[in-house]
Structure formats: C-alpha cells, structure tokens
Structure 1
C-alpha cells in the first residue's frame, strides 16, 4: 500500500480543525448584553450610558461620585449649573421617572406603563398611576409675535388626574415644555415664566393655543380634532383616541 504524502496529511488535519472550530463557534453561547441601568443601592438608580446616578430627588451628585468617580461628578455638576431642579429624567433603557408623581414609567407602543420595580426602588413604594399617560407624535409651530421660534416635530401628552385636573403637555425637541391645565373649563399654561390664561381654537386636525404674545399650533399625526361644544372637549380630541 502506497503511503500518503506528508503534506496531504497536514492538509487533511487542518481542514478537520477548521470544521471543528466552526462547529464550536456555531454552538457557543451568546453573552447577553448587560442592562445599562442598575440599582446599586437602596433608593439609587445609576445609568452607565450617561455616567449619572439618581435618587428620589432626581439627579444626584454624591451618588454619581460614589459609583462613577469624581470626574463624572465634575462633568455632571458643570452641566447642571444654572438649570432648574430636575422634575423628570429619562434613562437610556427608555424608562422615565417623575419626581413629583413619585412614579417611573416604561414606554411601550406610545403608552406609558407603570414600572413597578423602578418606582419601588427609587421612591420606596408603588404609587397608583392617575391613568395611563398617552403620548402622540405631532408637528408644532411656536411663535412669539412675528418671530417664529420652532417649526417641526413635537410630542403631545395627556395626563388625567384623580383630582379632576387635566394636563396637556407639549414637548418640543429643543427641550421647551408647555403644560396646559384645564380647571373647570378654564385653560391656563405654565412654564418657567409663570402661569397665563390661554385661548384655544379648534381647527379640525389642528389646535391653536394663544397666550400673551405667544401662539402654539399643534397638529396630531394621523388623527384629527373633533368639533366640540367647548375648548376643554376640543383639546381632549387632540390628545385622545376617538
């Protein structure tokens, strides 16, 4: 019997090793990506993506220093100078926490759902939500007199409270936020400049808010406003499913 050449044997062994390596790679377990949000201590939530920690009062410099170091604390401190205290903050996993409501929410299909674990960890309890907070996409224009300040996308949010106060929140991409409150059919807006009476005009697919020298025109995406008997009901059609 004629012996195989030495180089042929080496080639066969190399091919077998490659096949074995391929099989091992195919069946090797895939490591799960770690959650960027952690709860390292009681009442503390830390976000690895932003190198920031939070407690029941919002952004926390001391906890950020403890878990991410002095450099992260200095960076955070510089970003907070001159800004009002945080009332709401967002985490990189999509969770949003409101320190006034003492509630954390997770987004799903455009609706905010109560995040029981995060709420319990941060605030020490699970608060009962007033109602599911529904968010819609839209397009807004904001003008002060003849000066156009924004013309583009926006989000519309409805918050109904058990005390009978309804809030309509319009968020612009530049972090401007307008909160319209409906109290006994009387509409007012609140922002950093104060609270002002508002007139509302229903234009079918579009609602127009006017106060002082400001005009905010909001159009809800893929849905319109129903004609109604008073301003309160008209605004409700802008923010609610029919």
Structure 2
C-alpha cells in the first residue's frame, strides 16, 4: 500500500513532490521568521537583502557569519561593483527602517523623522 502511495505522488509530477517536501522540511516556523532580525548586540541582519550591518554599515564578515558564504560573496560583489558610489553611512532595511551610521540613528521608515528606538539601540547602543 505504501508503494502505491509513493507511486501516486511520483506520478503527480516532480514539482508537486518538491513543494511538498519543502513544506514538510521547512515547517511552519520558517514562515514566521522575520526578514530583519538581531542575531547579537550591535548587529542587524536582513534576510531579504542578504546583508548584515554593524555600527559602521554593511559587514561582509558578519553577513558570512549570520547569512552564509553566498550572501557574503554577493555583498562583497555589490560593494565592489558600486565602487565610490557605495554609501556606507546610509541604508534602508527591507522592512522600511532607515539607518544613518554617521548620525547613529535609525528611523521607522525612509524619510521619516520618527526614531526607531529598538533598531537604534540594537545597532548603536544609544537612545
């Protein structure tokens, strides 16, 4: 009977099987992971952008430590390709929070004047 079920799943198509396996392996917890998170003090990581930041801006070593080699390599490539256009003093996270390294502050959204106290304290340790 078990063999028959497996045969039926296989005949339903490889894509269906891959989706089914991915959902079983990932489980409901992975869907609840926020794109922006704080792995350790003074670090903010953004899963959607594949980058981690410290109080000095984007960090290849921290990105590698928290998001893996592929993310670190991509970040390094983006920084290299941007050259002098790369701005280490300003970034916007995928959840909309905007941070200014020189000012040591993060705002709730791009262009906002409302300080995000949680992100600011996490990254810069002040406010």
| Gap runs ≥5 in structure 2 | 1-28
CA offset digits 1:120-161 (Å, max 9, x no partner): 1100111xxxxxxxxxxxxxxxxxxxxxxxxxxxxxxxxxxx
- Higher normalized helix content (fraction of residues): 2
Q: CA deviation at 1:68?
A: 1.1
Partners of 1:71 and 1:118 lie apart in 2 by 25
Mapping for residues 113-124 of structure 1, pairs under 5 Å: 113-124=114-125
Q: TM-score, normalization: structure 1?
A: 0.37
Corresponding residue for residue 130 of structure 1 = none
Partners of 2:109 and 2:39 lie apart in 1 by 23
Corresponding residue for residue 69 of structure 2 = 70
Give me the CA root mean square deviation. 2.2
Partner of 1:112, secondary structure, is: coil
| Gap runs ≥5 in structure 1 | 1-30, 127-242
Corresponding residue for residue 39 of structure 2 = 40
Q: Given the superposition, is the C-alpha separation of residues 75 and 114 from structure 1 closer, same or farther in structure 2, using an over 3 Å criterion?
A: same
CA offset digits 1:3-40 (Å, max 9, x no partner): xxxxxxxxxxxxxxxxxxxxxxxxxxxx8843210000
Equivalenced residue count is 96
Greater alpha carbon shift after TM alignment, 82-91 vs 61-70: 82-91
Q: CA deviation at 1:64?
A: 0.2
Corresponding residue for residue 99 of structure 2 = 97
CA offset digits 1:22-74 (Å, max 9, x no partner): xxxxxxxxx88432100000100000101100000000011000011112111
Q: CA deviation at 1:91?
A: 0.2
Mapping for residues 179-198 of structure 1, pairs under 5 Å: none
Partner of 1:113, secondary structure, is: coil
Partners of 1:79 and 1:34 lie apart in 2 by 25
Partners of 2:50 and 2:41 lie apart in 1 by 18
Q: TM-score, normalization: structure 2?
A: 0.68
Mapping for residues 1-242 of structure 1, pairs under 5 Å: 33-81=32-80, 82-83=83-84, 84-107=86-109, 111-126=112-127
Greater alpha carbon shift after TM alignment, 82-91 vs 44-53: 82-91
The answer to which structure, 1 or 2, has the higher relative contact order (CA under 8 A, 6+ apart) is 2
Partner of 1:41, secondary structure, is: coil
Partners of 1:70 and 1:97 lie apart in 2 by 25
Partners of 1:86 and 1:111 lie apart in 2 by 20
Corresponding residue for residue 10 of structure 2 = none
